[in-house]
Each structure stands twice: as C-alpha cells, then as structure tokens.
C-alpha cells in the first residue's frame, strides 16, 4: 500500500503530439510580447533582441533540466527550442550564468564560432544527450573545458584563436545556430542539420587562403572567466567583481544593470574594481564587451551581490 | 510537468493547456528567478499557480455557502500520507479528475503541494473554514471511491 501523495507524485505521462506545436506558438507569442515590452523600456542596452534571446537561449537549458531526473510529478520528453536564428546561444545546466556569445567581427564569420565549439564544448553527456555534430571535434571532446592549450589539436585547420572560454561548467546543450525543431525527437537526438562550417568555408574563405604557416598566431586563446557572485563585505575575499583573464583583453567594456534595467555601473576600460557601491544585495546583469587580437566578443549574464 | 498539470485539470487536453501556459510564464519570468529553490521546483510552483489562475478564470464554484464554524477539525490535518491504497497511479488520477473542480483543487493544493489551509484560502479567495470542510469532504469522497475500486479488483 502506498500513500496517495507518493502515487500521484510518481505519475508520468507523455504529452500529445500537437502539444509541442502549441507550446512553440505560445512561446513565440510570448517572445513577441517580451520584445514589445522591452523595446519600450528606457534602458539603452536592454534591447528587444536580448529579451527574445534570453527567452530562447534558456529554452534549451530548461528543456535539458526538465529531462533530468529531478522532476517530480512527470517526466516530459522535450525538444530543443529554436533559438533565435540570428544568435548563437550557448547554455549550461547550472543556473549561474547565461552566456550569449555574439560574434561581431566580419572576417571571422564562421571560424571563431566553430573554434568556440571546439574549445569550449566537450559535449558533457550528463543526461544522455547525444548530440551529433558534423564538426571535426573528436580531439576537442576529450579535453576538459578550460584548457585547450595546444590549438593544433583542437581544430584541424589553422584557425583564428578563440579569445574566450566560458567559465568551466559542464555545457549541456549544443551551441548551434539552427537545430531543427521536430515534434518527434527527444532531447537526446537533436542533430544539427548544418554541414561543417569549417570544411565548407575553408575553400572560399579569402582570409584562410592568404594565411601562411608562419603568419598564424599559435598562442593559446584567451580565457575569460566571470564569476556569478561576489561578496563586497570587506573580508578581503571576493570583494570585487573580478573578471579573470581580463588582462589579455585589449578592449574591456563593462556595463552593470540592476533588475529594473537601469545602469548602475559602466566602464569603458574595466579594471576589476567594481565593488557594487550603492547597490543593494541582489542579482545584477552584466554586459562585458571585450576584444583580443581584433576579435570582439560580448558576454552577458547575471552576477549576485551578497554581503552576508 | 504534464503529470503535475493532469492532477489539476479534468482532461489531458486541458492539462496540456495549463502546462503550455505555465511554460510561457516560466520563460517570461525566467530573468526574475532568484535561485532560492532549484529550477524544477520553481517551474512546478509556476505550474501550480497557473492551474490556480485557470481555475479562478472559470470558476464554477459550488461553494455557495460560506461555512463559518470550524467543523470537524480532525480530518483537516491530513497531508495525504495517511491515505493508503493499492491502486495504480492512473486509477488514482482518474478518481482525482472525477472530483468536482473546487474539491480537486483544494485536495491537490493540500496534499500534493502541502499548502496550509490559510494559504489555500488566500489563493482561492474563500474562508479558511470553508476550505477545511471542503477538503474533508473531498478526502472522504476519495477514500470512499478508493475502497470501491479496491473491492472491485
């Protein structure tokens, strides 16, 4: 005899086929609404794209978390939601940071994103997520996230070194521009239907054609680590918002916003000196635009101030 | 999550609607998630709230009479661990879905989500004693049905 609460808690059921379409439509509607709302807000940096991107970029994260064994009351097979096609979203399964890596430099249209995949994503299969990509990342798979020291082993062709590595946390969902949304696939079988960008573009890319061996910069890519919390309480430990690896960045712009979207701190050349003055405890959003060897990247996420 | 929503809705289709609505809320308020609880727990809370909102939207409340005296407090301390049954989840769920809507929501909130009667009263906008009595009636009805079903086997 089991008690009724346990019985009902263990109940599992699968949604019907049309459910996912409806959900997808509903989320699109919600995203459109979010864009409409945020575009009318006065905060300069909170763009409509960011609202929609946040919505979509964490969709995969949510989905991934849901398929984990933590759910009580139902197990749902889910699909990876279509992220906004204009952005590549990298997600991780700990709720500390959501990273949006936006590639802003023209010449590196394809290469850095693929090398990002190679360097930062060993495809940790925590929950049997079997991501198949056409990328030649077999060498990268074997490496832990934070140390791609020899660039020659991570990417098969001379490539522009990746300036950033996201903080070492297991990365679960695939970083892809357009995984296809299919109602009958489970999370474990998302396949990225795009051919390897590297091989396709290698022949055409004028930059690559002109590179000679000795012009390639083989120094290891810059790693930038951003904490998700800091404690400015005078104890000398984590009293400042410190971005590790910032010394390697030539450009380092930082913007901090509070939950309302107002800018509470801004620096065009951040020196790891922000202590959250006049900012009460809570969660703040950062936007860190940095560049290294002419490759510019933007990272956004949240950091919490805790003074206790 | 669909399992959670199924407890609140009379049919699977409505449960799916609640779930979809719930996920929409999840995504739009994701930025305000304070990480005080784990993510699935938070999502589940949102599902419950969505279910309550849906219920409020089309209340066909049978609670016409506000019960102001605290009748029979004894049964109101139940949190579900004392209702034992051999039935399977599917059968129990079917019974729960058979219940009148307001009984069902009170029953769910009390037993599964472990809201206090005071909290349930606040959420539904009714008198706390009313809630207690309806819970007691729901529980008795359910026990009755469970016994019936068990004897059929």
Distance CA A88, CA A84 (A): 8
Write the ipTM.
0.74
Concatenating the DSSP letter of every residue in B121-148 gives HHHHTS-HHHHHHHHHHHHHHHHHHHHH
8 Å CB contact of B6 and A1: no
More confident: B75 or B38: B38
Which tens digits make up the pLDDT trace of A2-17? 677 778 887 778 878 7
Indicate yes or no: pTM above 0.80: no
Distance CA B20, CA B131 (A): 28
Q: How far is A19 from chain B (nearest CA, A)?
A: 7
Contacts of B85 in chain A (CB under 8 A): 1-4, 7
- Chain CA centroid to CA A217, Å: 26
8 Å CB contact of B1 and A66: yes
pLDDT reported for residue A275: 86
Quick check: A36 contacting B, CB < 8 Å? no
What residues contact residue A185 under an 8 Å CB cut-off, 6+ apart? A79
- CATH 1.10.1740.10 residue ranges in chain B? 1-58
In terms of CATH architecture, what is A229-305?
A: Sandwich (2.60)
Q: If contacts are CB pairs under 8 Å, which of residues 26-45 in chain B contact chain A?
A: 26-28, 30-35, 38-41, 43-44
> Residue A224 pLDDT > 70, yes or no?
yes
Which tens digits make up the pLDDT trace of A235-274? 888 888 888 888 878 788 898 988 888 888 888 888 888 8
* CB distance A249 to A223 below 8 Å: no
More confident: A209 or A162: A209
8 Å CB contact of A70 and B81: no
> Residue A20 pLDDT > 60, yes or no?
yes
Distance CA A209, CA B4 (A): 57
* CB distance A247 to A188 below 8 Å: no
What residues contact residue B43 under an 8 Å CB cut-off, 6+ apart? A62, A66, B1, B22, B23, B26
Considering only alpha carbons, which residue of chain A is nearest residue B92? A8
Which tens digits make up the pLDDT trace of B111-134? 888 888 888 888 887 888 888 888
**Domain map (residue ranges) of chain A:** 4-215, 229-305
More confident: A117 or A244: A244
Distance CA B96, CA B151 (A): 18
8 Å CB contact of A8 and B89: yes
CATH of B63-153, one of 3.10.129.10, 3.40.50.1010, 3.90.1200.10, 1.10.10.10: 1.10.10.10
Distance CA A217, CA B126 (A): 71
pLDDT reported for residue B59: 66
pLDDT reported for residue A186: 43
CATH of B1-58, one of 3.20.20.480, 1.10.1740.10, 3.20.10.10, 3.10.129.10: 1.10.1740.10
């Amino acid at each position: 005899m089991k008690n009724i609460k346990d019985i009902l808690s263990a109940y599992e059921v699968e949604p019907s086929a049309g459910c996912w379409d409806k959900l997808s439509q509903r989320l699109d509607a919600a995203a459109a609404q979010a864009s409409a709302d945020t575009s009318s807000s006065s905060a300069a940096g909170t763009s409509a794209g960011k609202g929609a991107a946040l919505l979509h970029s964490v969709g995969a994260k949510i989905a991934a978390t849901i398929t984990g064994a933590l759910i009580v009351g139902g197990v749902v097979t889910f699909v990876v939601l279509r992220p906004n096609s204009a952005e590549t979203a990298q997600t991780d399964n700990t709720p500390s940071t959501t990273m949006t890596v936006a590639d802003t430099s023209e010449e590196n249209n394809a290469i850095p994103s693929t090398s990002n995949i190679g360097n930062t994503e060993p495809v940790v299969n925590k929950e049997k997520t079997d991501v198949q990509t056409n990328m030649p990342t077999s060498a990268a798979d074997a490496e832990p996230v934070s140390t791609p020291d020899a660039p020659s082993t991570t990417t098969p062709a001379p490539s522009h070194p990746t300036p950033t590595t996201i903080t070492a946390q297991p990365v679960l969902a695939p970083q892809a521009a357009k995984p296809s949304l299919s109602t009958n696939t489970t999370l474990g079988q998302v396949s990225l239907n795009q051919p390897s960008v590297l091989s396709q573009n290698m022949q055409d890319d004028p930059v690559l054609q002109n590179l000679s061996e000795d012009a390639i910069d083989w120094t290891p890519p810059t790693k930038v680590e951003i904490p998700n919390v800091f404690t400015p309480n005078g104890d000398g430990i984590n009293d400042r918002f410190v971005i590790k690896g910032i010394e390697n960045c030539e450009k380092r712009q930082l913007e901090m916003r509070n939950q309302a979207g107002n800018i509470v701190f801004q620096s065009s050349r951040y020196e790891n000196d922000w202590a959250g003055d006049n900012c009460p405890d809570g969660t703040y959003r950062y936007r860190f635009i940095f560049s290294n060897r002419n490759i510019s990247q933007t990272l956004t996420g949240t950091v919490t101030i805790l003074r206790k | 999550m669909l399992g959670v929503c199924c407890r609140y809705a009379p049919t699977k289709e409505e449960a799916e609607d609640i779930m979809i609505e719930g996920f929409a809320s999840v995504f739009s308020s994701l930025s305000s998630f304070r990480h005080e609880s784990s993510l699935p727990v938070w999502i589940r809370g949102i599902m419950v709230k969505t279910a309550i909102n849906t219920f409020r939207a089309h209340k066909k409340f049978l609670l016409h009479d506000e019960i102001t005296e605290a009748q029979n407090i004894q049964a109101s301390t139940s949190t579900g661990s004392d209702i034992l049954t051999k039935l399977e989840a599917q059968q129990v769920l079917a019974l729960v879905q058979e219940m009148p809507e307001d009984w069902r929501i009170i029953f769910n909130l009390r037993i599964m989500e472990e809201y206090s009667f005071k909290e349930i009263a606040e959420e539904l906008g009714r008198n706390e004693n009313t809630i207690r009595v309806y819970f007691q009636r729901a529980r008795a009805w359910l026990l009755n049905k469970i016994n019936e079903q068990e004897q059929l086997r």
